[in-house]
Amino acid sequence: MTIEVRERRNEWYRSIDTAQAYGNEEGVGQAIVKCGLPREELFITTKIWISNAGYENAKASIEESLKKLKTDYVDLLLIHQPFGDYYGTYRAMEEAYKAGKARAIGVSNFYPDRYIDIAHFAEVVPAVNQVETHVFQQQKVAREYLAKHNTQIMSWGPFAKEKMISLILRY
């Protein structure tokens, strides 16, 4: 996979959200090198996929992600989905955090019950929970639980395309 990098410096993305499951970490790594920006000017997020769940698998997959991304650290490392041995995965992430291989760690797509469970047993409370959030999916209950642990919501979403089209067509 190749990723086009814009030639004008002010057009480059500074926040890059990738994941093992997307299959594009190598391409992202090549783009990071090609763009020529200092690493500290970029914010790189990647996510551990469920096939790499568990302590040993996650630990190895973190190293593989760093290698593919051509960096010594990521700014944010997340568990992509709360399936498999996500406790073991999170322990491997805590180690990566303590070793400076991840500047922050968190979770993605965790409903409040799963989030509370991991936050209760973790040494390092998740910095974020990346969940679908938009005007039609505001995550009000999740926000309450996350706030109690000083965890931020990091939004992802399809921009509610179908609902927006439906609203526009009505008026």
Cα separation of 46 and 75, whole Å? 9
Cα separation of 38 and 33, whole Å? 9
Q: Which residue pairs from 1-8 have beta carbons closer than 8 angstroms and sit at least 24 positions apart in sequence?
A: 1/26, 1/27, 2/27, 2/30, 3/27, 3/28, 3/30, 3/31, 5/31, 5/34, 5/35
Name residue, tokens 């990566």: 96
pLDDT at 78: 98
pLDDT at 94: 98
Whole-structure pTM over 0.85, yes or no?
Answer: yes
Catalytic-role residue among 13, 22, 86, 90 = 22
Strands (E) in the chain, as ranges, are 15-17, 43-48, 76-79, 105-108, 128-132, 152-156
**Would you say residue 164 has pLDDT above 70?**
no
User: Mean of the pLDDT values across residues 40-61?
Assistant: 97
As beta bridge partners, residue 152 has: 128
Question: What band does 5 get if pLDDT is binned at 50, 70 and 90?
Answer: very low
Q: Provide the percentage of residues in the chain whose pLDDT is more than 90.
A: 73
Query: What pLDDT digit, counting tens, does each position of 140-151 carry?
Result: 999 999 999 999
Clarify whether 145 is annotated catalytic. no
**Would you say residue 8 has pLDDT above 70?**
no
Give CA separation, 20 vs 49, 81, 127, 146, in Å. Answer: 6, 12, 20, 25
CB atoms within 10 A of CB 81: 18
